[in-house]
């Protein structure tokens, strides 16, 4: 059997200083895969830089969106492109080196035995987050606890953003409505995959704070996640 056609999808908003090393690292880590950058018209010129890199790198594709519309919407556009282009595996990851490109082969290999592989920062064995302020770590861990308690989703790190979808599960998830515009998207996609009976495994990863630039996390994004989880929890009572 031939190797699965794989697309790595990474949304960017003002990731200029991370972009070139990120693209090189991803393409080197998975020599058989392509990379799609989904840029929301970053004011710092990330999109133009991506176009310049793509001129020299045929495995790099760039999707430009008109304005910043949230990580969830950017992923949705990227995932639709991935399915339309016929990829068998779709990996999602942040473009700021919080997700180590060196973990890509492990993530992809694990998708041989699962429909959805989640890179997981938390497990019974401990917490694997480097250089995050303590309040950010509490927020993330607490969010995971909140999701597990309310929805019963049996996942230790439901808010993580380093995942590998097999084509069939991605198709099934995108068939339903996706409400989240922001980071709640991570919870929503995994939740729907689980409800539809797909097999999910968590793979331990080390998450590091971003290499350069600033976080786009905001209060509005956190509120959206809080309400989304409530909606998911009560819809199925």
Ligand X SMILES: Nc1nc2c(ncn2[C@@H]2O[C@H](COP(=O)(O)OP(=O)(O)O)[C@@H](O)[C@H]2O)c(=O)[nH]1
Give residues in contact with Mg ion (CB under 5 A).
94, 96, 98, 210
Q: Which of residues 51-70 bind ligand X (CB under 6 A)?
A: 68-70
What is the C-alpha separation between 184 and 223, in angstroms, rounded? 9
Residue bearing tokens 């729907």: 192
Please, are residues 79 and 7 in contact by the beta-carbon 8 Å criterion? no
What CA–CA distance (Å, rounded) separates 35 from 5? Answer: 11
| Least spacing, CB of residue 91 vs ligand X, in Å | 14
Helices (H) and strands (E) in the chain, counts: 8, 11
Beta carbon nearer to ligand X, 183 or 191: 183
Alpha carbon separation from 142 to 122, 124, 157, 158, 227 (Å, rounded): 11, 15, 10, 11, 15
Rounded least distance, CB 227 to ligand X, Å:
18
> Which one, of 155, 215, 140, 216, lies nearest residue 181 by Cα?
216
110: closest CA among 24, 6, 189?
A: 6
| CB 55 to ligand X: min, Å | 21
Is the Cα torsion angle 38, 96, 30, 207 positive or negative in sign? negative
Told to check if 15 binds ligand X by CB under 6 A, we report yes
**Binding to ligand X by residue 148, rule CB under 6 A?**
no
The binder of 64, among ligand X, Mg ion, none, by C-beta within 5 to 8 A per type, is: none
Residues between 60 and 119 with contacts to ligand X, criterion CB under 6 A: 68-71, 74, 94-96, 98
Q: Name which position in 64, 106, 128, 210 contacts ligand X (CB under 6 A).
A: 210
Question: Of 102-110, 121-129, 166-174, 213-221, which segment contacts ligand X by CB under 6 A?
Answer: 213-221
**Which residues contribute to the site for ligand X (CB under 6 A)?**
10-13, 15, 38-40, 68-71, 74, 94-96, 98, 210, 215-217
């Amino acid at each position: 059997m031939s190797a699965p056609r794989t697309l790595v999808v990474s949304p960017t908003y003002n990731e200029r200083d991370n972009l070139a090393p990120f693209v090189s690292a991803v393409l080197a880590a998975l020599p058989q895969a392509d990379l799609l950058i989904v840029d929301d018209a970053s004011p710092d010129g990330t999109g133009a830089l991506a176009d310049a890199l793509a001129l020299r790198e045929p495995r790099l594709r760039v999707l430009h969106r008109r304005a910043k519309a949230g990580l969830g919407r950017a992923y949705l556009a990227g995932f639709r492109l991935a399915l339309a282009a016929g990829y068998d595996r779709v990996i999602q990851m942040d473009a700021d080196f919080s997700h180590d490109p060196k973990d890509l082969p492990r993530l992809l290999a694990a998708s041989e035995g699962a429909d959805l592989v989640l890179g997981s920062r938390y497990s019974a064995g401990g917490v694997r987050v480097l250089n995050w302020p303590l309040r950010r770590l509490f927020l993330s861990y607490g969010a995971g606890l909140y999701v597990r308690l309310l929805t019963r989703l049996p996942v230790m790190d439901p808010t993580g953003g380093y995942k590998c979808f097999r084509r069939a599960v991605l198709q099934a998830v995108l068939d339903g409505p996706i409400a989240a515009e922001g980071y709640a998207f991570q919870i929503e996609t995994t939740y729907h995959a689980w409800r539809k009976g797909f097999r999910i495994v968590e793979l331990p990863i080390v998450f590091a704070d971003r290499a350069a630039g600033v976080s786009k996390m905001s209060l509005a994004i956190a509120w959206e996640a809080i309400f989304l989880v409530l909606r998911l929890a009560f819809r199925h009572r």
